[in-house]
Amino acid sequence: MTSDNILELAVCIVIDKPAALAARRRAMQAVSRYPGFISWRAVDSCETSGMLADLVEWETLEAAQSAGDRVRIDPDFAPYAATISAVMLVQHFNAGQKI
């Protein structure tokens, strides 16, 4: 089974992990209302303290890119962004096959 959807992988470092996790929940609620949003899987590293990763699925690359612009000005996303001390990776991928 193939999918035309886009997976966005964002990996970042936060200093105050409890604050980041709380703020991320609010950000997830905001982003879930964006056009083209499908899902958001939020994970944190087992090996690196303070490293979080977000895997967000979008209907199209354009929806993902538009969301990237929108989060910069969304007051519901701002508290999460404020907890991020470094962005390690933001990349988009074709969803590909699922089993």
DSSP bridge pairs for 96 = 3
Q: For position 63, which CATH number holds?
A: 3.30.70.100
Structurally, the chain folds into a number of domains equal to 1
Q: Which domain holds residue 90?
A: 2-97
Question: Taken in order 60, 64, 65, 70, is the CA torsion positive or negative?
Answer: positive
This prediction has a pTM of 0.91
pLDDT tens track for 50-96:
999 999 999 999 999 999 999 999 999 999 999 999 999 999 999 88
Instruction: State mean pLDDT over 20-28.
Output: 97
CB 13 within 8 A of CB 88: yes
